[in-house]
Structure 1
Amino acid sequence: MQFEVGLLCRRCVWCGGDSLRRMAVRSSGSYYDLLGVTPDASVEQIKQAFFVRSKKLHPDSDPSNPGLHAQFVALSEAYRVLSRETSRREYNTQLRARHRHWDRQTHTAAPHYSSESSEHVRYSEQFRYAPPQDLSPDQLERKRKRNLRLVGYCMLAMIGSIVAHYFGFRKLEEMHNSFMEEKDRAITEIYNTSKERARVNGFQKQTAILRQKHAEFVEKYQRREERGTDDK
């Protein structure tokens, strides 16, 4: 009688749909953990472990425990996969990929933050992951017009800034040219004044030299006349 009930429950597992089996297996560990065997266990060891555990987890063993049915479904699914070479090979491949994925998530986990920094993180996260807003067509239209106005204001501000920079640089260029012209005019004036002063000083010096030569000549001539008068 118990063997017939076991066949009935097993048939229920195979025909009850994948959703029940997936839901039962997802809540437990790996298939090897469910059967209590190692990953390198033989098919005979897996079969023996299944028969031992199925007696304990059979729903008829304790009708007052509703959780036994889900555990029995998970155990049957584990035995179905691991008792076949092809399905077991595929499951081992998926299990290794899942372990690698868990390892990557563990290594790339977020660092531990202090209480103060955690507050800042939570405060910023509420803006980063803002929930979607359900807006009516009128609200969407008003929002679109407001965004267009903001874009227009930004464009006007940018154009005004460009115009202000243009006239500002033009004014700065005019001031620079005026300053350079004033400096050139002052330098030219200083040069001409110095040149004229040098010319005047040179003429005065030449005049003084000529006067000195003339005085010396006159003095020598007078001395000769005086000597001639004395000789007579």
Structure 2
Amino acid sequence: MSILQARNYYELLGVSPKATQTEIKNAYYSKSKLVHPDNINHMPEEERTKRQHAFVELKEAYDILRRPADRRIYDDKLSGRISPHYTAAKQNRNQYHGYEYFGQDWKTFWENEFGYEAKHMTPEELRKRNQKQWAVIIKYTLIGFGLVLAYHLFYLSLVIRRDRQLETLVAKDEIAKSFLRQREFADKRNDQQHTDELAQLLKTNIDEAQQRRMETLKGKNPREIREEYRWLKAVREVDPSKRFRIRRRAAIEEEEAEKRAAILKSQAKVSTDGHSKHE
């Protein structure tokens, strides 16, 4: 059965010519269940043949109407806009009418897909085409490199400007400005004389406090643990048995040191007595 037979596919599926794809699909599934070959094995031979034929008709109708391109051709044929003989000839000649290059010049297809043009170009034409392609590649590469370079130069200029601004800042002035940002000193922020006096006073106090701190730190043992969390950490890391072994080892070492000192002392005494007797 072909698309050109007089049987109306819409009537075969029981849908309107304006039916949606979903309605067509549902109608096909509903009718095909009744005549599907798997469901007619128990029927007589004549009935099975009739239902198989009906199933084939439903399948062909659905295959045509479910594809928008084929459905448009079928609708045009039904409305008389396309001659049935022309449609049949066109369908027989072009089995791939639903694909991208249907109806186009095959030369264009081969040039775009398989390098047909390149195979039929002279060496000079190939060289010019390659030069043009490389010119485009180099052009966009340089544009990208320029954008990256411009970004890094802009960022570097911001860093340099920020460093210069920090270098121009005066420590005592910034301390005073920070102090005057408090709400209760809002009325004195524009008083330059008051700002200078406050800056000098605060800078002097900060320098003296820093000097005292450094002097205090010089007189302390650098290995001393002054932070509470470090004490707790040191205690947690050593279990009782380990602390006992440490103390026991220290006691043994101290005892051995005393014995060595006693032996050396006795040897020195014997040597002194020997020299005295000899004299």
Q: TM-score surpassing 0.5?
A: no
Compute the TM-score of the two structures, normalised by the length of structure 1: 0.31
| Larger RCO of the pair (alpha carbons < 8 Å, separation 6+) | 1
Greater helix proportion: 1
- TM-score, normalised to structure 2's length? 0.27
- Choose 1 or 2 for highest CA Rg: 1
